[in-house]
A and B are shown apart, each in its own frame.
Chain A
Amino acid sequence: MTSELDIFVGNTTLIDEDVYRLWLDGYSVSDAVALRVRSGILEQTGATAAVLQSDTMDHYRTFHMLERLLHAPPKLLHQLIFQIPPSRQALLIERYYAFDEAFVREVLGKKLSKGTKKDLDDISTKTSITLKSCRRQFDNFKRVFKVVEEMRGSLVDNIQQHFLLSDRLARDYAAIVFFANNRFETGKKKLQYLSFGDFAFCAELMIQNWTLGAVDSQVDDMDMDLDKEFLQDLKELKVLVADKDLLDLHKSLVCTALRGKLGVFSEMEANFKNLSRGLVNVAAKLTHNKDVRDLFVDLVEKFVEPCRSDHWPLSDVRLFLNQYSASVHSLDGFRHQALWDRYMGTLRGCLLRLYHD
């Protein structure tokens, strides 16, 4: 006796959260059954393995049919085939678009192209996330990217509107899209200590302040592309380190203000010029795409690492950066105060976030 056909269709589509998770994690039916058996469900319910197999198959089939709709979540809301309560719909969508930290760190800032997709095998091996799950996550990134690129308005809003994600998840996707669009390097060894959250935090600040959308909310891709004009203008900041008098004045202003307040004052004093040069040079180089990509590498190299090697506590870093930014306002010869604030305001936030072990 072999089962040829075995289905269960409810007027309300049954969604088993545990099975959904197994499916999302990319387990095959037989693996999923084995995992469920291990969870002790048979003992709890008195069911047999055959029942579990049939149940798992059913759910997998349902998810498979739902997947097409999940690719465009508003369709899930308007479709008539599956009657699913709204709370469950939200759960389906949210879980489908959720991603693994380990995975996203691997592809963050990479071009969401076929080439990258080919590397998913390696990522799968490295992260021990199933290839299927990797693919799903990658395709989600790519799909969201495709939909929201060249779109007007706030990136987060667009993502929320087209994918019905929670605010939290939509922000994460905005960061992923932003990183993919600007191809920021995140994979270097020195960047390994950074989490996705760190990058997402930076992305949000950069979107708010450095993109076209920060000045004009009526352009396409406003939140995805950095404001080219702004990047050009950043060259003007060079004067802060190129002009020796200005640099000295800046240093003395900062040192005066921080004397006695900083545990690492002497280190700061000794390193000031290096640090300032590093931060200003990063700004000046952002006209080149290559250097934009290396932004985080540069920040870590030029600022985070030197401070860390001198064992600056975070509070000192904060005090320093605040004073460093603010003192510029007292430099009479410097005319680009607004530009400086737009640059340094964001950078300060990023650096503070990036500064940890």
Chain B
Amino acid sequence: MPGKLKVKIVAGRHLPVMDRASDLTDAFVEVKFGNTTFKTDVYLKSLNPQWNSEWFKFEVDDEDLQDEPLQITVLDHDTYSANDAIGKVYIDIDPLLYSEAATVISGWFPIYDTIHGIRGEINVVVKVDLFNDLNRFRQSSCGVKFFCTTSIPKCYRAVIIHGFVEELVVNEDPEYQWIDRIRTPRASNEARQRLISLMSGELQRKIGLKVLEMRGNAVVGYLQCFDLEGESGLVVRAIGTACTLDKLSSPAAFLPACNSPSKEIKEIPFNEDPNPNTHSSGPSTPLKNQTYSFSPSKSYSRQSSSSDTDLSLTPKTGMGSGSAGKEGGPFKALLRQQTQSALEQREFPFFTLTAFPPGFLVHVGGVVSARSVKLLDRIHNPDEPETRDAWWAEIRQEIKSHAKALGCHAVVGYSESTSICEEVCILSASGTAAVLNPRFLQDGTVEGCLEQRLEENLPAGCGFCHIPYDELNMPFPAHLTYCYNCRKQKVPDVLFTTIDLPTDAAVIGKGCLIQARLCRLKKKAQAEANATAISNLLPFMEYEVHTQLMNKLKLKGMNALFGLRIQITVGENMLMGLASATGVYLAALPTPGGIQIAGKTPNDGSYEQHISHMQKKINDTITKNKELYEINPPEISEEIIGSPIPEPRQRSRLLRSQSESSDEVTELDLSHGKKDAFVLEIDDTDAMEDVHSLLTDVPPPSGFYSCNTEIMPGINNWTSEIQMFTSVRVIRLSSLNLTNQALNKNFNDLCENLLKSLYFKLRSMIPCCLCHVNFTVSLPEDELIQVTVTAVAITFDKNQALQTTKAQVEKSLQRASTDNEELLQFPLELCSDSLSSHPFPPAKATSVDYSSFADRCSSWIELIKLKAQTIRRGSIKTTVTVEKASPMGEGNFRNRAAPPCANSTVGVVKMTPLSFIPGAKITKYLGIINMFFIRETTSLREEGGVSGFLHAFIAEVFAMVRAHVAALGGNAVVSYIMKQCVFMENPNKNQAQCLINVSGDAVVFVRESDLEVVSTQQPPANCQPLCTGGEVTT
């Protein structure tokens, strides 16, 4: 009995009128936890009752404390009939269970009813007395901290980053139980809300237990999702990164550990960026020394469903970390071994983090992803998690093997998602293959030796772009050049990743949001036929999404993508693909070539003219974009760098032609001159459309920038105004004659118009940047497309531009170029096997699997496998090691004066999808906010139609999140995310229903100006994170 929960009901206000006769309400409150219920007295005839109850005490196990929510129900007393429920409040008491978070929950909570929405507020005080429990076999995991933030939270320091934790629980969905036929919608919705609350509690407790087993004390990058499978059940699953965190004791000294706008250098011994690639002292072929080997071709051809059991058995190197330091081998190999040994112990060396402590990320290999199509009605034992566990294990295994193929031992920026339509479910996982520094992965034993080594290798800091794989044994054809920064290591010409831009990365100009959008029609089908159709389509979608991304990237004149997120959504009669990423120009990577258009029939005069017209337009756009995003890399003469010999990019459309016989295969010699150009072949109207759509993307109006990462590369003089928002659009397609082109156009217009609307609405904030722009697509019905966007607009100071940055970059480049004059240039002939195609597609896999069904259909499964194989050309992006003196490093932060903060309004709660608040310092994390709401209406027209209904509901959700944060004593939610927004309507019946799931971290922040006295004691380079100071008004 290790806990006592105490609850006091103070008062209510703004209650609805429940008695028409008197226009008043006789309200009382039921307080329920587990199976115990208390009641307050009835407060007669008031809309603002003052109950001032005694303390209701619940004596409970801490296991229950973690699982159960506190349920508060407000009712109207009725002498003659049943009491009417006014509404409910669910309070997650988890934040009270660990010492550093909140100590009391106290405040006004909106009283929520699934039919009527918010109906007044109730003031509640909740406390928990925990008794220490030393039972080793305990089932609870009180004390493990959870963070949604995908970086080491500010005011903490990562001692060890243990790695991946995951858990999944399943239950019957109350909406599909037999009882649902006879109970009211309200009862059914409430059963669902309660169940999900309970399941998330349980899930969190179980994950906590795993963390304790790993000897961690926190989960960072915690991502919990619901799968509404329908008949087969309701799945709640979560992934996260287990860590051991140390609280930075004095609030003055806390340095934002790693992330986002800041880079903190002092705190961590590896500040000097262990750029292991520049092993000046070591021999030149470090890669050959790695202790494990992989054969790319083999791993590519492997089918995911059958895959890779051997990988998990990879022999552990067993190298003691202590002895490692004494070995004379090249540094890289050493690092690899150490890291590997640290990682090999883990089943999945995955990290949900997207930003890292300095020095943690050594190299980035590229995006790895895997998808698999499953049939939900084939689950043997739907109430048990085993089947789903197996599905995910399989996908993760595949991701792991892809990472290995890229010469990487870890996956960072890892995430998982599903898309469900009827009984078909697409499971997706993606991340960025990477080589990590073992320093954070193990107990501090390696530290000493590594540090020594590092001091020897300090020429330049352009580490993360350098390729981690063996250039002579590349898993896919890539185009390597010497790093434009240090001239010593090889880099690819384009880099795709799912992580945030490392803070020390040298970037030229600004970044921008890049999206690829794609629809594919599909025939309606049942079960296996449907699954087959989907899995046949998937590879083509992946391919086209990547082609689009690549084209758009080139059109922007940029060479790298960060924060890449590809969402494939399945509907009854179509598949949608939406990829979002932030394009940047990395100084370490070569200048991207232009885009060449090639016509099919070169002899036709008018056609020729048309082509050249298009070509001109494209070239103009590129030039314009370069200006717009201030991309003007210093010209470095070709001789110095040595231009790579353009390799023939034949078969650039190979994939398509191979699998669709209708497409002719055109062998193109694409070596146009010296610069490699990306060639678009216009061979049909389809391709024409592609080119058109490329050019229809309108850049944001001047004064606006947008990105989907935490911060905008190239802007760091944020001012304090932030505005988080959610926008939802649903369009109905005219069902007649839908073609892929029409569909694509509709979808493209939908997204573009949505963005235009956002720019218009937020025009008063100019100059500003939309950060963390997160698009979600769903297909609620046959002809409906729903797009949900959540993002934050942050203002910045235009006048404090970053001249210093540019100067630094230029200087560093110059130095690099002179340093490396003597370096030879190798032409790279890296076309590995016949499957080469798109130059830089991330490693990808598609697999189909029908549980418990395989035998009968084995023949066509084989077929699918075959196709999947052809598509899964693993491929790799790489990384740039970055200059030590990065543009963000110093200088420009020095002269930023924090404007004095003006009016602070009591009770304002800021919400942001970012992990930080500009102009402010987070001083305390109060706990995770994870809320699930259902709203239903049977009077849709009266509530303003679908728009009125959803608008009100989302506003209510925001209100409830803010109220909970305020009750915890917080003034902001960071890393806020709307994970689900499932909207269903039935206008004929005047009904609609919506489910929303949101999460984030409740925090206390202090304006930087208030801390000014303290912060002046810090060296300027260290207070980077909160760059521009000032008061935050949201």
Q: Say whether B724 faces chain A, with CB atoms less than 8 Å apart.
A: yes
- Whether the Cβ atoms of A81 and B731 lie closer than 8 Å is no
Contact with B along A113-152 (1 / 0, CB 8 A): 0000000000000000000000000000000000000000
Question: B121, B728, B903, B958 — which one has the most chain A CB atoms within 10 A of its CB?
Answer: B958
- Whether the Cβ atoms of A65 and B947 lie closer than 8 Å is no
Q: Say whether A51 faces chain B, with CB atoms less than 8 Å apart.
A: yes
- Whether the Cβ atoms of A45 and B763 lie closer than 8 Å is yes
Minimum CB–CB distance from B639 to chain A (whole Å) comes to: 44
Q: Say whether B911 faces chain A, with CB atoms less than 8 Å apart.
A: yes
Instruction: Please measure, in the bound complex, the distance between the C-alpha atom of A7 and the C-alpha atom of B727, giving whole angstroms.
Output: 5
Question: A6, A58, A82, A85 — which one has the most chain B CB atoms within 10 A of its CB?
Answer: A6
Minimum CB–CB distance from B795 to chain A (whole Å) comes to: 13
- Whether the Cβ atoms of A80 and B725 lie closer than 8 Å is no
Which listed residue, A7, A52, A78, A81, touches B947 by the CB 8 Å rule? A7
- Whether the Cβ atoms of B963 and A6 lie closer than 8 Å is no
Q: Say whether B55 faces chain A, with CB atoms less than 8 Å apart.
A: no
- Whether the Cβ atoms of B14 and A75 lie closer than 8 Å is yes
Contact with B along A77-98 (1 / 0, CB 8 A): 0111111011000000000000
Which listed residue, A5, A51, A86, touches B730 by the CB 8 Å rule? A5
Contact with A along B286-320 (1 / 0, CB 8 A): 00000000000000000000000000000000000
Instruction: Please measure, in the bound complex, the distance between the C-alpha atom of A6 and the C-alpha atom of B725, giving whole angstroms.
Output: 13
Q: Which A residues touch B955, using CB under 8 A?
A: 9, 13, 65, 81-82
Instruction: Please measure, in the bound complex, the distance between the C-alpha atom of A51 and the C-alpha atom of B746, giving whole angstroms.
Output: 16
User: Among the listed stretches B350-358, B375-383, B749-757, B769-777, which one makes contact with chain A, having 4 or more residues with CB under 8 Å of it?
Assistant: B749-757
Known contacts A1-B746, A9-B727, A14-B761, A80 near B947 by CB under 8 Å:
no
> Using a CB-CB cutoff of 8 Å, which residues 707-745 of chain B contact chain A?
723-734
Known contacts A47-B756, A61-B944, A4 near B731 by CB under 8 Å:
yes
Q: Say whether A64 faces chain B, with CB atoms less than 8 Å apart.
A: yes
Nearest CB in chain B to that of A41: its residue: B760
Which listed residue, B108, B946, B1033, touches A80 by the CB 8 Å rule? B108
Q: Which B residues touch A13, using CB under 8 A?
A: 955
Q: Say whether B909 faces chain A, with CB atoms less than 8 Å apart.
A: yes
Does more than half of chain B's interface fall in helix, strand or loop, or is it mixed?
Answer: mixed
Does more than half of chain A's interface fall in helix, strand or loop, or is it mixed?
Answer: mixed
- Whether the Cβ atoms of B1033 and A55 lie closer than 8 Å is no
- Whether the Cβ atoms of A8 and B757 lie closer than 8 Å is yes
- Whether the Cβ atoms of B723 and A12 lie closer than 8 Å is yes
Minimum CB–CB distance from B190 to chain A (whole Å) comes to: 21
Q: Say whether B65 faces chain A, with CB atoms less than 8 Å apart.
A: no
Interchain Cβ contacts within 8 Å, total number: 134
In this complex, the interface size class of chain A, counting residues with CB under 8 Å from chain B, is 35 or more
Known contacts A6-B729, A51-B760, A61 near B118 by CB under 8 Å:
no
Nearest CB in chain A to that of B943: its residue: A65
- Whether the Cβ atoms of A85 and B954 lie closer than 8 Å is no
Minimum CB–CB distance from B462 to chain A (whole Å) comes to: 39
Q: Say whether A192 faces chain B, with CB atoms less than 8 Å apart.
A: no
Minimum CB–CB distance from B86 to chain A (whole Å) comes to: 16
Minimum CB–CB distance from A4 to chain B (whole Å) comes to: 4
Instruction: Please measure, in the bound complex, the distance between the C-alpha atom of A48 and the C-alpha atom of B725, giving whole angstroms.
Output: 21
- Whether the Cβ atoms of A11 and B753 lie closer than 8 Å is no
Q: Which B residues touch A260, using CB under 8 A?
A: none
Nearest CB in chain A to that of B956: its residue: A81
- Whether the Cβ atoms of A79 and B951 lie closer than 8 Å is no
Which listed residue, A2, A10, A46, A51, touches B757 by the CB 8 Å rule? A51
Instruction: Please measure, in the bound complex, the distance between the C-alpha atom of A119 and the C-alpha atom of B729, giving whole angstroms.
Output: 42
Contact with A along B951-988 (1 / 0, CB 8 A): 11011101110110000000000000000000101000
Q: Say whether A57 faces chain B, with CB atoms less than 8 Å apart.
A: yes
Q: Which B residues touch A57, using CB under 8 A?
A: 947
- Whether the Cβ atoms of B946 and A5 lie closer than 8 Å is yes
Instruction: Please measure, in the bound complex, the distance between the C-alpha atom of A11 and the C-alpha atom of B390, giving whole angstroms.
Output: 40
Nearest CB in chain A to that of B784: its residue: A4
- Whether the Cβ atoms of A81 and B959 lie closer than 8 Å is yes
- Whether the Cβ atoms of A45 and B760 lie closer than 8 Å is yes
Q: Say whether A181 faces chain B, with CB atoms less than 8 Å apart.
A: no
Which listed residue, A2, A10, A80, touches B731 by the CB 8 Å rule? A2
- Whether the Cβ atoms of B905 and A4 lie closer than 8 Å is no
- Whether the Cβ atoms of B726 and A9 lie closer than 8 Å is yes
- Whether the Cβ atoms of B14 and A83 lie closer than 8 Å is no
Known contacts A45-B763, A80-B110, A3 near B958 by CB under 8 Å:
no
- Whether the Cβ atoms of B731 and A64 lie closer than 8 Å is no
Q: Say whether B668 faces chain A, with CB atoms less than 8 Å apart.
A: no
Q: Say whether A54 faces chain B, with CB atoms less than 8 Å apart.
A: yes
- Whether the Cβ atoms of B947 and A83 lie closer than 8 Å is no
Nearest CB in chain B to that of A64: its residue: B944
Given contacts A4-B985, A8-B725, A8-B757, 10 further A-B contacts (CB under 8 A): A10-B723, A11-B911, A13-B955, A50-B753, A61-B944, A61-B947, A64-B944, A80-B110, A80-B960, A81-B958
Instruction: Provide a sorted-by-A list of 15 A–B residue pairs whose CB atoms are within 8 angstroms.
Output: A1-B734, A1-B746, A7-B727, A9-B951, A11-B723, A11-B958, A12-B723, A12-B1034, A47-B756, A51-B760, A58-B761, A80-B110, A81-B118, A81-B956, A83-B959
Query: 9 tightest A-B contacts by CB?
Result: A5-B730, A10-B725, A4-B730, A11-B724, A9-B954, A7-B951, A80-B959, A8-B727, A11-B911
